Amino acid sequence: MLKININSKKQTTPLFSGVVSSACALLMFVLLSINSAHANQIQLVYLQIEQLATHVEKSGDAESLASVESPDGGEGEDFRLSYQVMWKQPAKNSNVPLNLQFSDGVKITKKSPAIISNGSNIQNFILTTEQGLAGQSITIVNLEKTNVEVMLKYTNSQGDYSIRITPESPSYTFIKSPSSWQTIQSYTFFGIEHILEGYDHLLFVLCLLLIASTLRKLLWAITGFTLAHSITLVLSTLNIVQLPIVVVEAVIALSIVFLATEIAKNVSKKAQQSSLTYRYPVAVSSSFGLLHGFGFASVLLELGLPKNDQLLALGFFNIGVEIGQVLFIAAVLLLMSTVKKIIYIRKHEKINAYVIGSIASLWLIERVMQF
């Protein structure tokens, strides 16, 4: 009886670690396959529309500008609002061309020739309209024939916000400012999407799964990571603390290299017991989580925040990040269960560490070269 209990005790931690390791190897293959597929497939194109000023025309006189949202036009005057537009899509697009079609009340002027920059086809032009874009619509022609999604960032005197235009719904009607419910929906989705497409963040979480040998340690590590990146996400988005994003991205890659090195060095149970990283994974996840928060903030700043619902958008973007993180962890745990049924592998920490470390090292070199 005593012998059975001891064996059961000894198998608890190695079983968890071994199954996670097996799942890790398979998950690395899946992530690399997805990443490769994304590199050869168009996913997003970008449309940026920013209000410039009020355009005033006076019976053939020269144009003048005034920063008024809805002026009361006098006799003989024609007030028009102007918007700077940047339409950016991959230079090597699909065989189906994407074109912009606006409502009848919107005119396209000052259309500049398209330029090719960093593999993207970029076109700039000006929109003019008498009453502003609120209530006007835009349609992405042929979008329904593709698997491309358009990220629209719209800026007016009420603030700025971002929305997605999808093949299922290729038209959008502009509003001055989104409702609170629209903000909640949009920014929660943005948060989920960002974490699930952020392979560096996912690899970091995967390292925590390998290091945390028990479920309790894993929960503490993930909680520490969540709280830490939430703090810097808020501070950076509200412009209280700012760091250069190129440095942040490089250090995020370095954090993964560090964890991979710790995993490779501490394969034996004795080494793990003497390692601070293995004994206190929450300390490591919290420390590096502060840096990951700056990475999340850079994406949110690029998307923009509705002027009247900044804190709401910020909060639900963070909630979306956490939802995506939970979905990823749940997927890993499901994969662990599947691998356990197919094949029993007790330990592959060193192999996994080399795979993760190699990927992160390439990211690190690539990002340092951008300094």
Element holding 116 (H helix, E strand): strand 115-117
Q: Are residues 256 and 117 in the same domain?
A: no
Q: Are residues 227 and 132 in the same domain?
A: no
- In-domain check, residue 110: yes
Q: Are residues 33 and 49 in the same domain?
A: no
Q: Are residues 277 and 350 in the same domain?
A: yes
Q: Are residues 27 and 128 in the same domain?
A: no
**Two tokens, residue 166:** 């999808």
Q: Are 332 and 207 in contact (CB under 8 A)?
A: no
- In-domain check, residue 306: yes
CA separation for the pair 247, 240 (Å, rounded):
18
- In-domain check, residue 4: no
* pTM for the full predicted model: 0.70
pLDDT value for 270: 63
Total Cβ atoms within 10 A of residue 199 = 18
- In-domain check, residue 1: no
CA 163 vs CA 48, 184, 191: distances in Å:
11, 12, 13
pLDDT value for 340: 67
Q: Which residues contact 163 (CB under 8 A, 6 or more apart)?
A: 152, 154, 172, 178, 186
pLDDT value for 324: 92
Q: Are residues 104 and 148 in the same domain?
A: yes
Q: Are residues 201 and 257 in the same domain?
A: yes
The last residue of a domain, from among 177, 209, 237: 177
Q: Are residues 235 and 287 in the same domain?
A: yes
pLDDT value for 348: 67
Q: Are residues 201 and 93 in the same domain?
A: no
Total Cβ atoms within 10 A of residue 67 = 10
Q: What is the pLDDT of residues 193-237, one digit of tens each?
A: 888 888 889 999 988 888 887 788 888 988 999 999 999 999 998
Compute the half-sphere exposure of residue 59: CA atoms within 13 Å on the CB side of its CA: 5
pLDDT value for 346: 42
Pick from 8, 302, 31, 46: which is nearest to 161 by CA?
Answer: 302
- In-domain check, residue 32: yes
CA separation for the pair 39, 122 (Å, rounded):
19
- CATH number of the domain that residue 93 is part of: 2.60.40
314 alpha carbon, distance to own chain's centre: 13
- In-domain check, residue 183: no
- In-domain check, residue 2: no
Pick from 71, 66, 63: which is nearest to 53 by CA?
Answer: 66
Q: Are residues 215 and 278 in the same domain?
A: yes
CA separation for the pair 315, 333 (Å, rounded):
27
Parent domain of 151: 44-177
- In-domain check, residue 34: yes
Residues of the chain with pLDDT under 70: 1-44, 53-79, 92-95, 118, 267-274, 340-348
The last residue of a domain, from among 121, 145, 177: 177
Where b means 16+ CB within 10 Å and e means fewer, 84-101 reads ebebbbeeeeeeeebebe
Q: Are residues 281 and 348 in the same domain?
A: yes
Q: Are residues 167 and 207 in the same domain?
A: no
pLDDT value for 79: 56
